[in-house]
Amino acid sequence: AQSVAQPEDQVNVAEGNPLTVKCTYSVSGNPYLFWYVQYPNRGLQFLLKYITGDNLVKGSYGFEAEFNKSQTSFHLKKPSALVSDSALYFCAVGGISGTYKYIFGTGTRLKVLA
Amino acid sequence: DTAVSQTPKYLVTQMGNDKSIKCEQNLGHDTMYWYKQDSKKFLKIMFSYNNKELIINETVPNRFSPKSPDKAHLNLHINSLELGDSAVYFCASSPWAVAGSVQYFGPGTRLTVT
C-alpha cells in the first residue's frame, strides 16, 4: 500500500538551532514529494516540492528538503529556526497510482522555543 | 485578493440537517478539491474536479455531494448530517490535474454537528 509517514507528532527546537522534520514514503514508481505548512486556523501553504533533479530542494522562508531515494525519505530542514516557524507541517506524495491524488502524512507540530 | 475562498468559515448545526459549503478560486485553475481534516489533523481527500468533471471520488458516504457549476467554483452539499461529520473542510485548487501540481488551499470551514 502506498503511504507517507511522519514519525514524530511534535518536534521542539530552540530558536537559532537547526531543525529537521522527518518524512518517509512508500510508493511505487517515482514520487512527487511536497511539504506544506499550516498555521493555526489557516489553510495549508505550499513550502517546496521535489519532482526530479537535484536532491536538495530549496523552498519558502529558508526551508529546504533533501530527497534520499535509497532511504525513501524527504526530510524538511532549516539551518536556523525562528519562533514564527512554529506550525503544523505536512509531507505529501503526489501522483498516486498515476492519478492526481495526494496522500498527506499525519503532520508534525513544530515548536520553536525562544 | 483572496485566492481560494470558502463560505462559511464556521458552521454549527444539528444532526439530521442538510448544509452546503461554497468554494471559489480566482486563480484561473482547472482543478479543485475537497479535503476533510479531522480532530487529529489527519487530512484526507474527498473529491476532485477538473474543468467541472469529477476525477477523484474517494470512499465518502453518498450523503456528501459535490457540485461544480463552473471551473472556478466547487460546492459541497451534505445531507442528513451526523456527529462524525464534524471536522474542518478545506477546498483547494491547482493549475492542472497533473501529479506534480502544487495545491492552493482555502482557509477552511469548521463544521460542528451537535
Spell out the residues 6+ positions from residue A8 whose beta carbon is closer than 8 angstroms to its own: A21, A22, A108
Mean pLDDT for chain B overall: 93
Residue B100 is nearest to which of A43, A95, A101, comparing CB atoms?
Answer: A95
Instruction: Note the pLDDT of residue B107.
Output: 94
Residues of chain A with pLDDT under 70: 96-98
Banded model confidence at residue B81, pLDDT cuts 50, 70, 90: very high
Rounded to an integer, what distance in angstroms lies between the CA atom of residue B93 and that of residue B79?
24
| DSSP conformation letters of A19-70 | EEE--EEE-SSS-EEEEEEE-TTS-EEEEEEE-SS-SEEE-GGG-EEEEETT
Banded model confidence at residue B108, pLDDT cuts 50, 70, 90: very high
Instruction: Note the pLDDT of residue A53.
Output: 86
Angle at A20 between CA B93 and CA B107, to 5 degrees: 25
Rounded to an integer, what distance in angstroms lies between the CA atom of residue B1 and that of residue B12?
27
Instruction: Note the pLDDT of residue B1.
Output: 61
- Mutation pick from B2, B33, B41, B45 vs chain A, by most beta carbons of A within 10 Å, is B41
Rounded to an integer, what distance in angstroms lies between the CA atom of residue A49 and that of residue A46?
8
Which residues of chain B make contact with A32, given a CB cutoff of 8 A? 99-100
Instruction: Note the pLDDT of residue B8.
Output: 97
Instruction: Note the pLDDT of residue A37.
Output: 97
Q: pLDDT for B22-74, tens place per residue?
A: 999 999 999 999 999 999 889 999 999 998 889 888 878 999 999 999 999 99
Rounded to an integer, what distance in angstroms lies between the CA atom of residue A23 and that of residue A74?
5
Rounded to an integer, what distance in angstroms lies between the CA atom of residue B24 and that of residue B36?
17
Q: Determine the residue type at A25.
A: Y
Task: From residue A29, give the alpha-carbon distance in Å to each of A2, A25, A98, B68.
Answer: 11, 12, 9, 32
Burial string for B72-87 (b: 16+ CB within 10 Å, else e) reads bbbbbebeebeeebbb
Tell me whether residues A43 and B50 touch, CB distance under 8 A. no
Rounded to an integer, what distance in angstroms lies between the CA atom of residue B3 and that of residue B25?
6
DSSP, collapsed to helix, strand or coil, labels residue A13 as strand
Instruction: Note the pLDDT of residue B104.
Output: 95
Spell out the residues 6+ positions from residue B42 whose beta carbon is closer than 8 angstroms to its own: A104, A106, A107
Which residues of chain B make contact with A50, given a CB cutoff of 8 A? none
Which residues of chain A make contact with B31, given a CB cutoff of 8 A? 100
Q: Is B55 on the interface with A (CB under 8 A)?
A: yes
How close does chain B come to A70, measured CA to CA in Å?
21
- Give the pLDDT mean for B85-93: 96
Q: Which residue of B has its CA nearest to A103?
A: B44
Q: Is B45 on the interface with A (CB under 8 A)?
A: yes
What is the grid cell recorded at A39? 498555521
- Mutation pick from B4, B43, B89 vs chain A, by most beta carbons of A within 10 Å, is B43
Tell me whether residues B100 and A32 touch, CB distance under 8 A. yes
Q: Is the pLDDT assigned to residue B87 strictly greater than 70?
A: yes
Instruction: Note the pLDDT of residue A98.
Output: 65
Residue B31 is nearest to which of A32, A90, A100, comparing CB atoms?
Answer: A100
